[in-house]
Amino acid sequence: MFQMKDVSSRVDVAIDAALAEHRIVGTVVLAAKGGTPFYTRAAGFADREAGRVMAPDSLFRLSSVSKVYISVAAMVLVKQGILALDAPVTRWLPDFRPSSPDGSQSDITIRHLLSHKAGLGYGFLEPADGPYHQAGVSDGMDIVDITLEDNVRRISSIPLLFAPGTSWSYSLATDVLGLVIEHATHLPLAKAIQGLVMEPLGLTDTAFVVRDFNRLAAGYVDDGGVPRRMADLEIIPLPFVEGSEGLRMAPARAFDDNAFPSGGAGMIGSANDLLAVLEMLRSGGFPLLSSAEIQAMLTDQTPEIDLLPWPGRGFGLGFTLLRDPVSAQSPEPVSTWRMGGAYGHSWFVDPINELTVVAFTNAGLEGQSPGGRFPDDLTRAFYEG
């Protein structure tokens, strides 16, 4: 149960413990109830080596938090009648025709992309010699000399993991969706997202390249003790994915104007911007979406499927939905939405208690949901008085 009494002091304790135990380097945590902010704290270092402390408006490499913005933009286009959830992706990408495992062709729809039921995969979930690596597919966090069109073409060349709509796999679907948005709007993805999401909400911090170098938090990674600063290229194993090579992360991508716009992992932004987007969704969608689009996003598209690594959660259109708190080992109520990012981020929206929480860190994977202890500690601080 959400406990408003003494919640700020409990959250402070969780943050202070993570810093004292050197599990994170710095963090920005924001919380709002019923649209009213009641907790804001920036703590630790944005750049430990430079002695630059974390600030509430610090910028972060968003990794999978980027998916929120792309998913919302797609739903704005659905509202405008430019996209249709159950229309085939080939309406906008005629050459995107990956085959099913049996060699047959099946339509992948916009709904399949948003719900990760398209049959696509991720390179970081497969071994180093897996098909995505062999095809030169980028997961959107490394530095490669290819375009978004090139990357989607490579994705299309690989057979699907399953026939579209028959199962679920976290995937590069949001990157494909980014190219759909480009073709549907006839704009580069960055400009499309700017017009569809950022400008209507008055947001200025979030983009595909860093806009203020002095505000960008450095990236750190757990190394069995005090987090160390990330190297130019990190390959970070995932403890919850057996046999995978891990995440390929190049922090300098944030400064590369020529990096292709990865809708699934390539944005840079602030905690305040994300809070504004989540609050827009929680409060009904105005001015971007109507109740119909919000309802679609909050409908579990995977009712008969167990998601890994999210036990007890289903998937809507863009994020997980809690359906079994016991299996999830979470104090959150049923229907809570949640996602995170590999650079060390987590967020959740509890619609029952009208609670929205954003927690950005610069320590992957400790700050990531799922995988890190810090998001779990924070969640318990909000619910366990």
Q: Which residues are catalytic, by number?
A: 64
Q: Determine contact, residues 333/325, Cβ cutoff 8 Å.
A: yes
Separation in Å, CA 319 to CA 20, 38, 113: 31, 24, 12
Return d(Cα 161, Cα 333) in angstroms, integer. 32
What one-character-per-residue DSSP string does 127-176 give? -TTSHHHHTT---SSS--S--HHHHHHHHHTSPPSS-TTSS----THHHH
Which position has the token pair 């017009």? 195
- H-helix or E-strand spanning residue 41: strand 36-47
The helix (run of H) or strand (run of E) holding residue 52 is strand 52-53
Q: How far apart are CA 54 and CA 275, in angstroms?
A: 18
Query: 277 and 289 in contact (C-beta within 8 Å)?
Result: no
Q: DSSP string covering 169-206, please?
A: ---THHHHHHHHHHHHHTS-HHHHHIIIIIHHHT--S-
Cβ proximity of 313 and 168 under 8 Å: no
Q: Give residue for tokens 């109520």.
A: 333
CA distance linking residue 184 with residue 263, whole number of Å: 15
First to last CA, the chain: 9
For residue 194, the number of C-alpha atoms closer than 13 Å in the C-beta half-sphere is: 11
